[in-house]
Structure 1
Amino acid sequence: MREIILILYFFIVVIVGFISFGQIKNNKDFFIAGKNAGVYQVAGSLLASILGSSAILGSVDFAYDVGWAGSWLMLCGALGLLILYPLTKFIKNFQGYNLPDLLGNFYGEEVQRISSFIIPIAWLGIVASQIMGAAKIITIISTFTYIEGVWLSGFVFIVYTILGGQFSIIKTDIIQLIFILLGLLVVFFYISSEPLTKEALPLINHKFGYIDLLVMILTYSTTYIVGPDIYSRLFCAKNEKTMKMSILIAIVVLIPLGFILAKLGIYGAEMFTDVGKNSVLLMIADSKLPNILSFLLYLALLSAVISSADTTLLTASSLFTQGLIKNLKSEKAVFISRVLTAAFGVGAIIIALKMKYILSTLLMALTIYSGAFIIPTFVGMFGYRARKEVVITAIVVGGFVATLGKYYPGNTGKYIAIAAFILNGLILYFGKKLVK
């Protein structure tokens, strides 16, 4: 019965894509939903994109290991949005479609093009983490294997995104967000009735210290301040007021949600002595919840997967398209983006088959991006300008060093990640002085 419902769910998603396909009139509809979205559409889409399966399952798994410190993932996201709030004045009149367009305005066409090629590579890891989350859900509610779940969910994401583009994404995200929040809240209140016998670790503890928090802020919070998916939501807004209200709503939701997800992870630590490679939240659903609640949670998580994966996949394909043809307003931009959506989707599927852990896959992708692009974009908003050679060097060196840090265990890797930001900033500062 569950398999039938699963197939029906995916079938409905694809049908929505087909319906949206007929409603797309031009490139503006496909890439930024006509730039006419209201507060609830932008806020709903922003939150639905943030709350992918990788973030939800990853937060719960994280809290299983580190206690209340697991809430920092959502709290750091809220911190990033809080810093972004006053920065909307720098992007309110922007007429482009994405973040590389913004970088092009700051530093020239060459920087725009290299950004359009590098960011999609990092974003493949984020799409893969969503597919991994979907596959784990599928293995629990059906007889499909993990590999079959990866291919099935990946195929649905690809088809839905190719057909609907941004137009369908922003219109359906608010519905998916309702499913996400409803499922998580129902489960939270259900498990809250069971008292815990062990005291959970505090927000800062021996498993998650201040250096860990600093690295998370640098590699995670900053992607909310300057992030392709975040900006793709804001660029759909009809005005600055809509942008600001949407950001505030997202912050108000993320802060309590961080503690709710941490509580679920702490509950899992109380219930299970060893989870192995399994997701803690999915184990709670499978063994501790009544059938109706577990099904509601699975539906919420599938909604989380779809709402985040389609946005990320479209971002990756549209950016790469821009790198190839320079202008997303070109007549052939939508066609090329759809072809690349298929290519990137298959690439994400392959990564999902190779990687083992959802959160590590997500943070790997965000670390590569943040080390390369956060500082150049941030200082560019405040009027910093430099020659293309300087900016490109900062992007390449910062991204490479940040990636290197993920391959070293313990504090060594964390210090390398911090060094990536320092090197990026130093290259921009001294490069401007040396290269005239």
Structure 2
Amino acid sequence: MTKRALILLEGHRGIGSLYVKAAQRLGLHPVTLSADPTQYDYLVAENLEAIRVDTSNVDALIRECCRLQRTYSIAGITGFSGLGDSFYATVGKLCRHFKLRGPDPSSIERCRDKFTQRQLLAQTGVPQPAYRLATKATDVQRAAAEIGLPVIVKPAVGSGSRGVRLCRNVEELAEHTGYLLDGEHICRSSPRILVEEFAEGRYCCADIMGNDVIGISAADFGPSPHFVFREWTYPALLTDDEHRRIADVSLSCLRALGLGWGPTCIEFRWSKRGPVVIEVNPRLGGAPTPQLVQLAYGIDLITEHIKLVIGDEWNLRRKHSHVAAARMLVADRDGTLDWINGESQAAAVPGVSEVKLYVGPKASIIRKGDIRDWMGYVAAASPSLAETETILERAVEFIGWSITPDTR
């Protein structure tokens, strides 16, 4: 009998291995297509099939999938956002070509352009911050003056908080504008910049599969002006009315953007006027979101997503109700990581579900002010928020590291 394969476009350091294991449990053979498979440690460690191919070239991907069809029956195609949501749009194009289940690539493309996303949300009255599009420094200055400092300045396309900064005065505004326009950011050609009102308030994120709001998390950030997550809590501590309002706005976002197939995560700030949409991401949230959903509710979002992709019946029913949380491990300086240890002691603390390290000794630590600053995380769960917080505090105390600053 021909093996059924699940094609994975690119990989993900946080949830890539979880997709592989879930696929294998479902009787599928995972095949990763990547421009550089060696960047994903789990592919080598688990001796998984990975093929080097230009993943920015849809025609090249189609040719490779056609070649794979000589060996496997392709049950489905999906991918990750570690290198940008453009890969998820490519997934949609491949699914259309091979007549497989997948997201609408046009909707993904509209959504990943944050200015277009803002315009579509505005047309349907979805609450969001004031915003302006800029392509040069004078545009940024004018937009900030119209909106009023402080403002959020970020690339119109990107993910993982890359290039996102709170500019509190004209000096910070000029500095960050130069950083984006001078090509230091990953988007190097003709950068389009969004200048947005800084919506103050609690951060929440709604996780959705299809048109079902699975749950809503809360998160805290490190110090300004960057937005580096320091802790996630699942579920967020919300009143029934707050939960309903966020869920209602989330579904309005799906309608406005033509989404509603597969996973979506929508970021909010609970401001003085209620839930304000910060960003709609047309994909599953990265680590530790799927792990926390499973700890909190017993729902394996990754397995259920794969079931949707291959046409199997999925199940989003909650099996229990706990409070899960993750504490991110973030470096306090740049330099060379001499050592990091204590993970085994932290993992042994009752209630700890996972200790994940992304770096090891001799790693070069260069803080970017975004998701790439994470060195790892500790996750835990219990029946109550207070108990979960206590577990995390005990576990994180075991983990230590030393970084030698660069002398150059």
User: TM (normalized to structure 2)?
Assistant: 0.30
Q: Which has the higher helix share?
A: 1
Q: Which has the higher strand share?
A: 2
